[in-house]
Structure formats: C-alpha cells, structure tokens
Structure 1
Amino acid sequence: MPGTNETLSVVEIIRNIPGDTTEPLLCKCSDGRRYVVKGYAGTSCEELIAEWVAANLAKRFGLSVPPFHIVAVPDALTAFMPQWRYSLQQDEAFASLYIENSAPLSQPQAHEAVNTQSQKLIYLFDRWINHTDRTFAGRSANMIYDFSSGRYYLVGHDRAFSLPGEQAEHGPHVYAPGERTWDFDLVDRNEGEQRVAMVINALDEILAGIPAAWSTGHEAFIGQVRRVLMRADDNEFWSSLS
C-alpha cells in the first residue's frame, strides 16, 4: 500500500495549518513532498492510533484517502523551536500527503462529486469504524476536493473507534438517511460484508505497524478498536444501515 512501508522523516517544518483542532503542521519530508503532519499538540496517542488504523482500513476498503506514512521527527529539527517541539513531541508522527489545489468539500459537492456507490461505501465505512465526524454541523465533513483532478479524499479520522454510546453525535452523517436519495439494500449489504471480511484480515498487520511510542499504555484502546470493528459480525449492525 502506498506510503506505509517506506521510512520517511520530517526535514522541514513549513507552517501551522489553521482551522484544525488537532493542530497539524505542514512539513516537507525526506521524499521531497509536503505532508500534513499530526504529532502531539492537539492529538493524543489514541487519536494518532485511530488515524493510522482508519487510513489503512479505508485504503483497503477501496476509499480515496491521501497517501500516508508514519514519519520520524528528528530531535534536531525542533530542539531550538519551542512551538514546534510542543507540536511534534512524539518521536514519530502521522503524515498525510498535502493535496495541492484542494479545499473542504461543500455539502452540495459531497453529493455531486461523489458517485452513489462511493457514498454508500463511505457511509458503511464510517458506521463500521464508528466515525461520527463526517457531518456538516457547523464544520467541514473531513472530506476535501482536489480541483485539479476532480477527485475527493477522506481525511481526519482521529475521532474514530469510540464505543457506541460513548461519543455524542456531532450531527447527521453526510450520507445518513434523510440526507441522501438512495437506500442501503441487500445487494449493498452483500458487497459490504465481502469488503469487511477482506479488510478485517489485514487488521493484525495494521495494528502491528503502530509505533510503540503511541501504543504503550494504550493497549486498552487497541482492544477497543477490535471490538468496534467486530460489530460487523452482528446482524444488528447491518440492519441499522438501511
């Protein structure tokens, strides 16, 4: 998978990225490309784990996410810059390729620029990982649009994998019933079950890629990630999607 095996390091911190509560930084990495990098400041270890696991699952699920990596943050890069050192305290950070010429997807674009089958997959995926932040309730739905290519990308999965009932809904999902013109039917369920079964086989490999700096002391959350995903074994989960 693009971006998960190659070892990269941050070589330059360019600037803050405004308007994001996780306080990411725009950085240049050792492959010469620019990335949105999330380290310590506004992002907990559990949120970094959620970003990593969700991005891997989404890619395997067939969804459009920017290429991503876990990147090393050299001490020398932040040693004399206190504001950067706070933002990137972790030895390793989550990096998502910065998509040039992109902007948050508007509500009309979310329905016009994303075809119906992709809408169904996004809705299923977010319900599966219990990601309640794909909403236009006063904020971006964590979807961006590349105007040069006409392609959308899913971003911002740091709030995924909360147990059902533990996290307040932020608003209706962009493709929830009442926000869409299609139904999630038996054909969609059959395809969804096949995709989930295929992707879940890679979970151990994905979890093994979590840096020790993130996972140490957060083993309970990693177990929670498994429990959230295993809900797809229950008929109740699938019945709730229609």
Structure 2
Amino acid sequence: MTHYLEITEIRNRARQGRTEPFMCTAADGKAYFVKGKSATFLGCIREWMGAKLATAFGLPVPPFTIAVTSSELLKLYGSEAVLGLGTDPAFASQHIPTSHELKYEVLSQIDKQLRRDVLMFDAWVRNEDRSLTQKGGNPNLLWSENSLHVIDHNLIFDKDFTTDIFLDTHVFQAEITEILQDFLLREHYQTRMQDALNVWSSAWDTLPEEWCEQNEESGLFDPEATFQQLRDDAQGAIWTRLMQ
C-alpha cells in the first residue's frame, strides 16, 4: 500500500484561483496548498505531471507531493472540506513564506533566461493559464524575496490551445521573437524538452490509483497521445506551431 503525506490540520481555504485550494499543515510540519476533490482527478493528474515535467525542465517549482486527509479531520473542518478536499489522494504544493502573486511591475527584475524558460515550457505543454499584461491577469507565478516560483499546472495539455491567444497574453510573451530568430536557442530548448520528457513514465507510474481508475472510467485524459504530442514538439514541431 502506498503511503502518502498525511494532513494534520486544515487551516483555511484560499479564495484565489479557480480551484481554491486548502491551506493545510502536514505531518512533516510544513504548510501546503492542497487540491483535491474540487480540483477534479483530471486537474490533479495535470498538476502532478506538469510539476514533474517543469522540475525536469529546470523551472523553480515549489516542493510538491501527494497528500491524504482523514474523514475525521474533514468533518472537523466542515462540509466545505468534505466536498472540496475529500479523502482521496490530493495534490499538495508547499507554501512559500512571504510569497505573493507576481505583479507586472517586477517583470524586469526576473532573469531573462528564466523568463524564456517559463515561456517555452508553457508553449510546450500548451498552457494558456499564465497571463499578465499591464491591465492585469492571472500569471500563476509567485514572487518571494526576489525569487520566482512556478505553480498551477491544472490546465496544461489544453486541447483548445490557441497559439495567437497564448502569444498575446502570456506573462513573458515579449521573449518569443528572439527565441524564434535564434537557431541555437531553439536547439537548446528542444534538447531540454527531450531531456524533461524522460521523467514521463516514472511520473505516470507514481500517480495514485484512485486518479488512474477515474481516468480509465471517464477517458478524459489520453497519456499516450499527450506523450506523443510532447515528443513531436520536442523534435521540432513546436516551432511550426509558434511561427504560424
């Protein structure tokens, strides 16, 4: 039987973001944002696979794991936790102290290489959910003590991904022109995609059985087709998409 990190306290529920995760304390004494039932099994699968790929790609992702909450603790907190968190395994992302959502005004303080990295990773995994302009947005990036932290991958592998929208709204859209014009940079990112893809099998194999069973019943996520799409892009197809 697989043993997951146990949640020992449910503190409160975040009111930002679509999934409104729960801030919890775990048995290791650390604080986590936990996404369970309300995030859906599909969202949790995407979170896990996205965090694994992003880490392998070299992005600064907060420590993450899979956690479980007892029915007794859920009832103690109330119906909101029973309905929103549930007793099935959940995706848990470690809380970064003193962090806050990235603001447009600090974009220039972020290293250019990191801005490019985030942009290219999101293009690769088809993630439109990292938008920010002078008018506002939802970057799903945290800023803490002059460091960037990449979070929220629950909407990656988007079947309705639109390149034009992505390049118009992505927080680091300004970096795309130099990347597309630089052959060596494009080769560099293809290599990083290929290397990151090496973790796919092990990441998939560590998914909770509960998520996999629900996915098999629904057929909502096709791991083979998604892997092939990522591999095609890593072999160069991504440039055709981005240059259209």
Same structural fold, with TM-score higher than 0.5 when normalized by the shorter chain: yes
Q: TM-score range, shorter-chain basis?
A: 0.7 to 0.9
The answer to whether the 8 Å contact 1:128/1:231 transfers is no
| Structure 1 position 212, deviation (Å) | 1.4
- The 1:10/1:152 distance shift into structure 2, 3 A limit, reads same
SS at match of 2:32: strand
| Structure 1 position 163, deviation (Å) | 2.1
Q: Is 1:118 aligned to residue 114 of structure 2?
A: yes
| Structure 1 position 229, deviation (Å) | 1.5
Provide structure 1 residue ranges, at least 5 long, that are not aligned to the other structure. Answer: none
Q: Report what 2:158 is aligned to.
A: 162
The structure with more helix, counted as a fraction of residues: 2
- The 1:126/1:196 distance shift into structure 2, 3 A limit, reads same
Letter in 2 for 1:44: T
Letter in 2 for 1:140: N
* Aligned-pair identity (%): 26
Q: Report what 2:21 is aligned to.
A: 24
Distance in 1 of aligned mates of 2:83 and 2:199: 33
- The 1:166/1:119 distance shift into structure 2, 3 A limit, reads closer
Q: Is 1:183 aligned to residue 184 of structure 2?
A: no
The answer to whether the 8 Å contact 2:132/2:139 transfers is yes
| 1:62 equivalent among 58, 63, 74 | 58
Q: Report what 1:134 is aligned to.
A: 130
Letter in 2 for 1:183: E
Distance in 1 of aligned mates of 2:162 and 2:207: 24
The correspondence of residues 39-118 of structure 1 with structure 2, limited to 5 A, is: 39-41=36-38, 43-80=39-76, 81-110=78-107, 112-118=108-114
Residue range with higher mean Cα deviation, 163-172 or 199-208: 163-172
CA-to-partner distance for each residue in 1:76-120, whole Å, 9 max, x for gaps? 21134222111112421111011111111111323x232111111
Q: Report what 2:214 is aligned to.
A: 217
Give the paired residue count. 232
Compute the RMSD of aligned alpha carbons.
2.4
CA-to-partner distance for each residue in 1:101-153, whole Å, 9 max, x for gaps? 1111111323x232111111111100110000110264320111013xx2110
| Structure 1 position 48, deviation (Å) | 0.7
How does the TM-score come out when normalised to structure 2? 0.86
Letter in 2 for 1:72: V
The answer to whether the 8 Å contact 1:130/1:228 transfers is no
How does the TM-score come out when normalised to structure 1? 0.87
Distance in 1 of aligned mates of 2:161 and 2:154: 17
Letter in 1 for 2:237: E
Provide structure 2 residue ranges, at least 5 long, that are not aligned to the other structure. Answer: none
Letter in 1 for 2:84: S
SS at match of 1:44: helix
| Structure 1 position 182, deviation (Å) | 5.8
